[in-house]
């Protein structure tokens, strides 16, 4: 091979090496992907059992009637109920109770909030006690309802809901007043009123939508018909314990009172 041909081949080889160095070459490539699945946990609590009394269908309350008391001696009718977390997110549990008239008393001592985690539960000893009775107590009755309310751990403290109802004793239905504070400003509210012992809970949303004002408060009133269900029917002429529950989706609260249907 002549020197001229060797020089030409050397020049071509140098050019090829230069092109490879400049990035003109075959390349191996690979593409990978990563996936991350996020599951939002579940949240809730409910009354799972009670030694006596009637648990509501949604597990939010238990109703207990003292029944017929056949002796004037002081006494008590205790009962236990269990509240369990039903989700995977820890909850802060609070208990509210409807008031009982004197000389009856609630056996459940004031309870501090309790934190429940997945699969845990809390047992409460409750019920009704009474002092010695006399003729003025004949025909008197007592019942109580306990209601559970759960919020997220670390959430804002429970707000306040109040309930009052006034009857005039002259055959006119009483007027109920509901007030609350500490909710999110202008937030739509879900509000329920449950009458202890009634066949069904009374859903106040049936009366129209409600919402908090710019300060996070609400107040409204309406004339009550004292019937057992929102569908109407004959009025019940006995006082009924009431529990009120309100929520703006972030903060929730409970309150209690008495509907004085026995005044007319």
Tell me if domain 40-155 and domain 156-264 are identical in fold: yes
**Whole-prediction pTM:** 0.65
Question: Which of 43, 46, 57, 42 shows the shortest CA–CA distance to 121?
Answer: 46
Dihedral sign (CA 12, 15, 21, 25): negative
To the question of domain 156-264 being in CATH 2.60.40, the answer is yes
Write out the chain's pLDDT in tens, 264 residues: 555 554 555 555 454 545 455 555 677 777 777 777 778 888 889 999 999 988 877 788 888 888 889 999 999 999 999 999 999 999 988 888 877 888 999 999 878 888 999 999 999 999 999 999 999 999 887 888 888 888 888 777 677 888 888 877 666 778 889 999 888 899 998 887 777 655 555 666 666 789 999 999 999 988 877 876 666 677 877 777 787 878 787 777 778 788 888 776
Domain range annotation of the chain: 40-155, 156-264
Record: fold of 40-155: Immunoglobulin-like (2.60.40)
């Amino acid at each position: 091979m002549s020197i001229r041909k060797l020089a030409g081949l050397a020049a071509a080889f140098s050019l090829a090496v230069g092109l490879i160095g400049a990035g003109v070459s075959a390349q191996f490539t690979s593409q990978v992907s990563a996936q991350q699945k996020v599951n939002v946990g579940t949240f809730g609590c409910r009354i799972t059992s009670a030694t006596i009394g009637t648990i509501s269908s949604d597990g939010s309350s238990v109703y207990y009637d003292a029944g017929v008391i056949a002796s004037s001696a002081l006494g008590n009718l205790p009962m236990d109920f269990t509240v369990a977390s039903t989700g995977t997110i820890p909850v802060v549990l609070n208990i509210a109770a409807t008031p009982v008239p004197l000389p009856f008393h609630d056996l459940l001592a004031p309870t501090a909030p309790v934190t429940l985690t997945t699969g845990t539960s809390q047992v409460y000893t409750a019920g009704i006690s009474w002092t010695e009775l006399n003729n003025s107590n004949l025909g008197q009755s007592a019942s109580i309802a306990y209601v559970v309310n759960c919020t997220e751990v670390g959430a804002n403290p429970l707000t306040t809901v109040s309930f009052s109802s006034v009857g005039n004793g002259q055959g006119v239905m009483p007027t109920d007043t509901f007030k609350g504070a500490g909710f999110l400003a202008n937030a739509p509210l879900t509000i329920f009123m449950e009458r202890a012992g009634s066949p069904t809970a009374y859903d106040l949303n049936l009366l129209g939508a409600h919402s908090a004002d710019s300060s996070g408060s609400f107040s409204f009133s309406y004339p009550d018909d004292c019937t057992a269900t929102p569908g109407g029917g004959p009025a019940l002429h006995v006082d009924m314990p009431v529990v009120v529950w309100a929520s703006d989706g972030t903060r929730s609260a409970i309150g209690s009172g008495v509907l004085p249907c026995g005044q007319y």
